[in-house]
Amino acid sequence: MFGLGGAKSIVGLDIGSSSIKAVELKKSKGEIAVAALGVEPLGSDIVVDSMIVDSGSVSSAIAKLFTEQKIKAKAVATSVSGHSVIVKKIPMQTMTDSELADSINTEAAQHIPFDIADVNIDFQILSEPTGDPQMDVLLVAVKKDKILNYTNVLSLAGKSPAIVDIDAFALQNCYEYNYEPAPGTTVALLNLGASVMNINIVKGTTPLFTRDVSVGGNQYTDSLQKELDLGFDDAEALKLGQRVGTVSEDAKLPILQQVTEIIVLEIQKTFDFFRATAAGEHIERIYLAGGSSKVPGLVEALRQEFSLPVEVLNPFQRISAADVAVPEPDFVEQHAGQLAVAVGLALRSFEDL
Protein backbone atom coordinates (compact mmCIF):
# COMPACT_ATOMS: atom_id res chain seq x y z
CA MET A 1 0.00 0.00 0.00
CA PHE A 2 2.62 2.54 1.07
CA GLY A 3 5.43 2.77 -1.51
CA LEU A 4 8.67 4.13 -0.11
CA GLY A 5 10.78 4.23 -3.28
CA GLY A 6 11.30 2.28 -6.51
CA ALA A 7 13.22 -1.00 -6.63
CA LYS A 8 13.67 -3.80 -9.17
CA SER A 9 13.84 -6.89 -6.96
CA ILE A 10 11.92 -6.72 -3.71
CA VAL A 11 12.29 -9.31 -0.95
CA GLY A 12 9.08 -10.14 0.91
CA LEU A 13 9.78 -9.98 4.65
CA ASP A 14 7.04 -10.96 7.09
CA ILE A 15 8.04 -9.96 10.63
CA GLY A 16 5.80 -11.93 12.98
CA SER A 17 5.77 -12.35 16.74
CA SER A 18 7.29 -15.84 16.64
CA SER A 19 9.46 -15.75 13.49
CA ILE A 20 10.65 -13.76 10.47
CA LYS A 21 9.87 -15.13 7.02
CA ALA A 22 11.77 -14.03 3.88
CA VAL A 23 10.94 -14.85 0.25
CA GLU A 24 12.73 -13.66 -2.88
CA LEU A 25 11.14 -14.44 -6.25
CA LYS A 26 12.56 -14.44 -9.78
CA LYS A 27 10.96 -14.42 -13.22
CA SER A 28 12.26 -16.65 -15.98
CA LYS A 29 10.58 -17.30 -19.35
CA GLY A 30 7.34 -15.79 -18.06
CA GLU A 31 7.23 -18.11 -15.04
CA ILE A 32 7.75 -17.07 -11.42
CA ALA A 33 9.95 -19.19 -9.18
CA VAL A 34 11.48 -18.91 -5.73
CA ALA A 35 15.03 -17.54 -5.72
CA ALA A 36 15.46 -17.84 -1.95
CA LEU A 37 13.38 -18.34 1.17
CA GLY A 38 13.90 -18.88 4.86
CA VAL A 39 12.37 -18.74 8.32
CA GLU A 40 14.20 -17.38 11.38
CA PRO A 41 12.59 -17.98 14.81
CA LEU A 42 12.24 -15.12 17.29
CA GLY A 43 12.24 -15.41 21.06
CA SER A 44 9.16 -14.43 23.03
CA ASP A 45 8.69 -10.75 24.00
CA ILE A 46 10.70 -9.50 21.00
CA VAL A 47 7.59 -8.63 18.95
CA VAL A 48 4.56 -8.02 21.18
CA ASP A 49 1.06 -7.05 19.98
CA SER A 50 2.46 -6.50 16.48
CA MET A 51 5.02 -3.96 17.74
CA ILE A 52 8.77 -4.60 17.61
CA VAL A 53 10.01 -4.25 21.19
CA ASP A 54 13.61 -5.44 20.74
CA SER A 55 14.89 -3.78 17.54
CA GLY A 56 18.41 -5.17 17.92
CA SER A 57 17.26 -8.80 18.04
CA VAL A 58 14.98 -8.37 15.04
CA SER A 59 17.58 -6.58 12.90
CA SER A 60 20.16 -9.27 13.78
CA ALA A 61 17.68 -12.01 12.84
CA ILE A 62 16.99 -10.29 9.49
CA ALA A 63 20.70 -9.94 8.73
CA LYS A 64 21.28 -13.60 9.66
CA LEU A 65 18.39 -14.74 7.45
CA PHE A 66 19.68 -12.80 4.42
CA THR A 67 23.24 -14.08 4.93
CA GLU A 68 22.25 -17.72 5.39
CA GLN A 69 19.92 -17.71 2.38
CA LYS A 70 22.42 -15.73 0.25
CA ILE A 71 19.87 -13.00 -0.47
CA LYS A 72 21.75 -10.09 -2.02
CA ALA A 73 18.81 -7.77 -2.78
CA LYS A 74 18.55 -4.86 -0.33
CA ALA A 75 15.01 -3.65 -1.10
CA VAL A 76 12.34 -5.09 1.19
CA ALA A 77 8.54 -5.14 1.28
CA THR A 78 7.11 -5.75 4.72
CA SER A 79 3.64 -5.56 6.23
CA VAL A 80 1.86 -4.59 9.43
CA SER A 81 -1.38 -5.38 11.24
CA GLY A 82 -3.07 -4.81 14.57
CA HIS A 83 -4.62 -1.90 16.45
CA SER A 84 -2.61 0.80 14.67
CA VAL A 85 -4.04 -0.24 11.29
CA ILE A 86 -7.47 0.93 10.09
CA VAL A 87 -9.07 -0.51 6.95
CA LYS A 88 -12.53 0.75 5.97
CA LYS A 89 -14.71 0.67 2.88
CA ILE A 90 -16.43 4.05 2.64
CA PRO A 91 -19.01 5.42 0.18
CA MET A 92 -18.01 8.71 -1.46
CA GLN A 93 -19.27 10.99 -4.17
CA THR A 94 -17.95 9.79 -7.54
CA MET A 95 -14.80 11.67 -8.56
CA THR A 96 -11.51 11.18 -10.39
CA ASP A 97 -8.36 9.76 -8.78
CA SER A 98 -6.78 13.21 -8.61
CA GLU A 99 -9.88 14.75 -7.03
CA LEU A 100 -9.99 11.92 -4.51
CA ALA A 101 -6.32 12.41 -3.65
CA ASP A 102 -7.07 16.07 -2.85
CA SER A 103 -10.08 15.29 -0.63
CA ILE A 104 -9.14 11.97 1.01
CA ASN A 105 -7.57 13.50 4.15
CA THR A 106 -10.71 15.47 4.94
CA GLU A 107 -12.87 12.39 4.37
CA ALA A 108 -10.53 10.12 6.32
CA ALA A 109 -10.68 12.36 9.40
CA GLN A 110 -14.36 11.37 9.79
CA HIS A 111 -13.58 7.64 9.81
CA ILE A 112 -10.28 7.29 11.68
CA PRO A 113 -9.99 7.34 15.49
CA PHE A 114 -6.48 8.88 15.31
CA ASP A 115 -5.25 12.40 14.64
CA ILE A 116 -4.90 12.67 10.85
CA ALA A 117 -1.40 14.13 11.32
CA ASP A 118 -0.30 10.92 13.06
CA VAL A 119 -1.18 8.51 10.24
CA ASN A 120 -0.13 7.59 6.71
CA ILE A 121 -3.12 7.20 4.39
CA ASP A 122 -3.62 5.24 1.20
CA PHE A 123 -6.77 4.52 -0.80
CA GLN A 124 -8.15 2.53 -3.69
CA ILE A 125 -11.36 3.02 -5.65
CA LEU A 126 -13.25 -0.28 -5.52
CA SER A 127 -16.22 0.50 -7.77
CA GLU A 128 -16.14 0.20 -11.54
CA PRO A 129 -17.07 3.47 -13.29
CA THR A 130 -20.82 3.11 -13.98
CA GLY A 131 -22.06 6.68 -13.94
CA ASP A 132 -23.43 6.28 -10.39
CA PRO A 133 -23.25 9.38 -8.16
CA GLN A 134 -21.48 7.31 -5.45
CA MET A 135 -18.45 5.03 -5.45
CA ASP A 136 -16.85 2.70 -2.90
CA VAL A 137 -13.37 3.62 -1.69
CA LEU A 138 -11.04 1.41 0.35
CA LEU A 139 -9.40 3.63 2.95
CA VAL A 140 -6.26 2.42 4.73
CA ALA A 141 -4.58 4.34 7.54
CA VAL A 142 -1.56 3.26 9.59
CA LYS A 143 -0.05 5.19 12.47
CA LYS A 144 3.29 6.71 11.47
CA ASP A 145 5.03 5.39 14.57
CA LYS A 146 3.95 1.86 13.58
CA ILE A 147 5.52 2.24 10.13
CA LEU A 148 8.69 3.72 11.65
CA ASN A 149 8.83 0.84 14.13
CA TYR A 150 9.27 -1.54 11.18
CA THR A 151 11.25 0.59 8.70
CA ASN A 152 13.82 1.60 11.34
CA VAL A 153 14.55 -2.07 12.05
CA LEU A 154 14.99 -2.77 8.33
CA SER A 155 17.43 0.14 8.04
CA LEU A 156 19.27 -1.12 11.12
CA ALA A 157 19.66 -4.48 9.34
CA GLY A 158 21.13 -2.74 6.28
CA LYS A 159 18.00 -3.14 4.15
CA SER A 160 16.00 -0.54 2.19
CA PRO A 161 12.28 -0.42 3.06
CA ALA A 162 10.56 -0.15 -0.35
CA ILE A 163 6.93 -0.98 0.54
CA VAL A 164 4.89 -1.25 3.74
CA ASP A 165 1.74 -3.27 3.09
CA ILE A 166 -1.03 -4.66 5.28
CA ASP A 167 -0.80 -8.34 6.28
CA ALA A 168 -4.33 -9.09 5.06
CA PHE A 169 -3.67 -7.53 1.64
CA ALA A 170 -0.31 -9.28 1.23
CA LEU A 171 -2.13 -12.58 1.83
CA GLN A 172 -4.78 -11.53 -0.70
CA ASN A 173 -2.03 -10.79 -3.24
CA CYS A 174 -0.66 -14.31 -2.73
CA TYR A 175 -4.16 -15.81 -3.09
CA GLU A 176 -4.98 -13.86 -6.26
CA TYR A 177 -1.80 -14.89 -8.07
CA ASN A 178 -1.94 -18.55 -7.07
CA TYR A 179 -5.67 -19.18 -7.36
CA GLU A 180 -6.78 -16.74 -10.13
CA PRO A 181 -10.25 -16.28 -8.58
CA ALA A 182 -13.35 -15.74 -10.71
CA PRO A 183 -14.87 -12.23 -10.28
CA GLY A 184 -17.98 -13.48 -8.45
CA THR A 185 -16.25 -15.91 -6.06
CA THR A 186 -16.34 -14.81 -2.40
CA VAL A 187 -13.82 -16.39 -0.02
CA ALA A 188 -12.50 -15.77 3.48
CA LEU A 189 -8.73 -15.56 3.84
CA LEU A 190 -7.59 -16.30 7.41
CA ASN A 191 -3.99 -15.68 8.45
CA LEU A 192 -3.56 -17.23 11.89
CA GLY A 193 -0.27 -16.00 13.30
CA ALA A 194 1.18 -16.37 16.78
CA SER A 195 -0.59 -13.37 18.32
CA VAL A 196 -2.92 -11.91 15.65
CA MET A 197 -5.42 -13.38 13.19
CA ASN A 198 -6.03 -11.39 10.00
CA ILE A 199 -9.42 -11.97 8.39
CA ASN A 200 -10.02 -10.72 4.84
CA ILE A 201 -13.26 -11.50 2.98
CA VAL A 202 -12.65 -11.09 -0.74
CA LYS A 203 -14.96 -11.17 -3.78
CA GLY A 204 -12.88 -11.89 -6.87
CA THR A 205 -10.03 -9.44 -6.31
CA THR A 206 -12.03 -6.91 -4.28
CA PRO A 207 -11.68 -6.87 -0.47
CA LEU A 208 -15.15 -6.65 1.09
CA PHE A 209 -14.31 -6.77 4.79
CA THR A 210 -11.05 -6.81 6.75
CA ARG A 211 -10.51 -7.32 10.47
CA ASP A 212 -7.58 -8.14 12.78
CA VAL A 213 -8.36 -10.20 15.88
CA SER A 214 -6.03 -10.51 18.89
CA VAL A 215 -6.05 -14.30 19.04
CA GLY A 216 -3.46 -16.70 17.66
CA GLY A 217 -1.21 -19.68 18.03
CA ASN A 218 0.37 -18.43 21.25
CA GLN A 219 -2.88 -19.29 23.04
CA TYR A 220 -2.45 -22.95 22.07
CA THR A 221 1.15 -22.90 23.30
CA ASP A 222 0.28 -21.14 26.58
CA SER A 223 -2.55 -23.59 27.32
CA LEU A 224 -0.37 -26.63 26.61
CA GLN A 225 2.40 -25.26 28.83
CA LYS A 226 0.03 -24.55 31.68
CA GLU A 227 -2.12 -27.69 31.53
CA LEU A 228 0.67 -30.21 30.84
CA ASP A 229 3.51 -28.47 32.72
CA LEU A 230 5.70 -28.21 29.61
CA GLY A 231 8.46 -25.88 28.45
CA PHE A 232 7.83 -23.50 25.56
CA ASP A 233 9.65 -25.57 22.89
CA ASP A 234 7.84 -28.78 23.80
CA ALA A 235 4.46 -27.01 23.81
CA GLU A 236 5.23 -25.50 20.36
CA ALA A 237 6.14 -28.93 19.00
CA LEU A 238 2.96 -30.48 20.43
CA LYS A 239 0.85 -27.68 18.95
CA LEU A 240 2.13 -28.49 15.47
CA GLY A 241 1.37 -32.19 15.74
CA GLN A 242 4.75 -33.55 16.82
CA ARG A 243 5.30 -36.19 19.51
CA VAL A 244 6.71 -34.98 22.82
CA GLY A 245 7.87 -37.42 25.49
CA THR A 246 5.03 -39.43 26.95
CA VAL A 247 2.27 -36.88 26.24
CA SER A 248 -0.65 -38.78 24.72
CA GLU A 249 -3.10 -37.61 22.06
CA ASP A 250 -5.87 -37.95 24.64
CA ALA A 251 -4.11 -35.46 26.91
CA LYS A 252 -3.29 -32.98 24.16
CA LEU A 253 -6.38 -32.84 21.96
CA PRO A 254 -8.92 -31.47 24.51
CA ILE A 255 -6.56 -28.56 25.28
CA LEU A 256 -6.12 -27.74 21.59
CA GLN A 257 -9.88 -28.05 21.09
CA GLN A 258 -10.64 -25.49 23.81
CA VAL A 259 -8.46 -22.87 22.11
CA THR A 260 -9.81 -23.79 18.66
CA GLU A 261 -13.32 -23.07 19.98
CA ILE A 262 -12.21 -19.55 21.00
CA ILE A 263 -10.70 -18.92 17.56
CA VAL A 264 -13.74 -20.31 15.74
CA LEU A 265 -16.00 -18.07 17.85
CA GLU A 266 -14.03 -14.97 16.78
CA ILE A 267 -14.31 -16.02 13.14
CA GLN A 268 -18.04 -16.62 13.61
CA LYS A 269 -18.50 -13.11 15.06
CA THR A 270 -16.65 -11.61 12.10
CA PHE A 271 -18.69 -13.57 9.56
CA ASP A 272 -21.94 -12.58 11.31
CA PHE A 273 -20.98 -8.91 11.22
CA PHE A 274 -19.99 -9.20 7.56
CA ARG A 275 -23.31 -10.79 6.62
CA ALA A 276 -25.20 -8.08 8.51
CA THR A 277 -23.38 -5.31 6.65
CA ALA A 278 -22.99 -6.89 3.18
CA ALA A 279 -26.49 -7.91 2.11
CA GLY A 280 -26.62 -10.81 -0.32
CA GLU A 281 -22.93 -11.79 -0.06
CA HIS A 282 -22.15 -15.41 0.82
CA ILE A 283 -18.75 -16.85 1.70
CA GLU A 284 -18.12 -19.92 -0.47
CA ARG A 285 -14.75 -21.18 0.79
CA ILE A 286 -12.20 -20.57 3.56
CA TYR A 287 -8.45 -20.47 2.97
CA LEU A 288 -6.22 -20.78 6.02
CA ALA A 289 -2.64 -19.49 6.26
CA GLY A 290 -0.16 -18.60 9.00
CA GLY A 291 2.10 -20.59 11.26
CA SER A 292 -0.83 -21.97 13.27
CA SER A 293 -2.70 -23.29 10.22
CA LYS A 294 -1.19 -26.73 10.94
CA VAL A 295 -2.67 -27.10 14.43
CA PRO A 296 -4.32 -30.57 14.56
CA GLY A 297 -8.10 -30.42 14.29
CA LEU A 298 -8.35 -26.74 13.27
CA VAL A 299 -9.26 -27.28 9.61
CA GLU A 300 -11.81 -29.94 10.58
CA ALA A 301 -13.35 -27.65 13.24
CA LEU A 302 -13.76 -24.85 10.67
CA ARG A 303 -15.36 -27.22 8.16
CA GLN A 304 -17.78 -28.50 10.79
CA GLU A 305 -18.71 -25.07 12.18
CA PHE A 306 -19.26 -23.27 8.87
CA SER A 307 -20.24 -26.16 6.56
CA LEU A 308 -17.84 -24.79 3.95
CA PRO A 309 -14.82 -26.16 2.07
CA VAL A 310 -11.70 -25.26 4.09
CA GLU A 311 -8.12 -25.69 2.88
CA VAL A 312 -4.66 -24.49 3.82
CA LEU A 313 -3.63 -21.88 1.25
CA ASN A 314 -0.75 -23.01 -0.95
CA PRO A 315 1.48 -19.99 -1.77
CA PHE A 316 3.43 -22.12 -4.27
CA GLN A 317 0.52 -23.39 -6.36
CA ARG A 318 1.70 -21.34 -9.38
CA ILE A 319 5.20 -20.54 -8.10
CA SER A 320 7.91 -23.16 -8.44
CA ALA A 321 10.03 -23.77 -5.34
CA ALA A 322 11.75 -26.83 -6.82
CA ASP A 323 15.22 -25.35 -7.25
CA VAL A 324 15.57 -23.39 -4.02
CA ALA A 325 18.11 -24.48 -1.40
CA VAL A 326 16.33 -25.50 1.81
CA PRO A 327 17.54 -26.80 5.21
CA GLU A 328 15.59 -30.07 4.92
CA PRO A 329 13.73 -31.86 2.07
CA ASP A 330 10.16 -31.05 3.17
CA PHE A 331 10.93 -27.52 4.39
CA VAL A 332 8.72 -25.75 1.82
CA GLU A 333 5.77 -28.06 2.45
CA GLN A 334 6.13 -27.78 6.23
CA HIS A 335 6.29 -23.96 6.18
CA ALA A 336 3.95 -23.21 3.25
CA GLY A 337 1.17 -21.67 5.35
CA GLN A 338 3.71 -19.62 7.28
CA LEU A 339 5.26 -18.20 4.07
CA ALA A 340 2.04 -16.99 2.38
CA VAL A 341 2.30 -13.35 3.49
CA ALA A 342 5.98 -13.16 2.54
CA VAL A 343 5.15 -14.58 -0.92
CA GLY A 344 2.41 -11.97 -1.35
CA LEU A 345 4.90 -9.25 -0.45
CA ALA A 346 7.58 -10.61 -2.80
CA LEU A 347 5.05 -10.62 -5.67
CA ARG A 348 5.12 -6.80 -5.47
CA SER A 349 8.37 -7.05 -7.46
CA PHE A 350 6.32 -7.74 -10.59
CA GLU A 351 4.22 -4.71 -11.42
CA ASP A 352 2.53 -6.39 -14.37
CA LEU A 353 0.79 -9.00 -12.17
pLDDT band at 138 (very low <50, low <70, confident <90, very high): very high
Between residues 209 and 278, the one the model is more confident about: 209
Could you give the count of Cα atoms lying within 13 Å of 282 in the half-sphere of its Cβ? 5
The per-residue pLDDT of the chain, averaged, comes to 91
Number of structural domains, the chain? 1
If one counts every other C-beta atom within 10 angstroms of the C-beta of residue 325, the result is: 12
pLDDT at 3 (0 to 100): 56
How many Å apart are CA 151 and CA 171, to the nearest integer?
20
Residue 322 has pLDDT above 70, yes or no: yes
Least confident window among 5-14, 74-83, 137-146, 204-213:
5-14
pLDDT band at 133 (very low <50, low <70, confident <90, very high): confident
Residue 353 has pLDDT above 50, yes or no: no
Could you give the count of Cα atoms lying within 13 Å of 189 in the half-sphere of its Cβ? 33
Angle between helices 298-306 and 249-277 (to 10 degrees): 40
pTM for the whole thing? 0.93
Residue range 17-23: mean pLDDT, rounded? 94
Q: How many residues does the chain have?
A: 353
CATH code for position 127: 3.30.420.40
Query: What is the residue range of 24's domain?
Result: 2-349
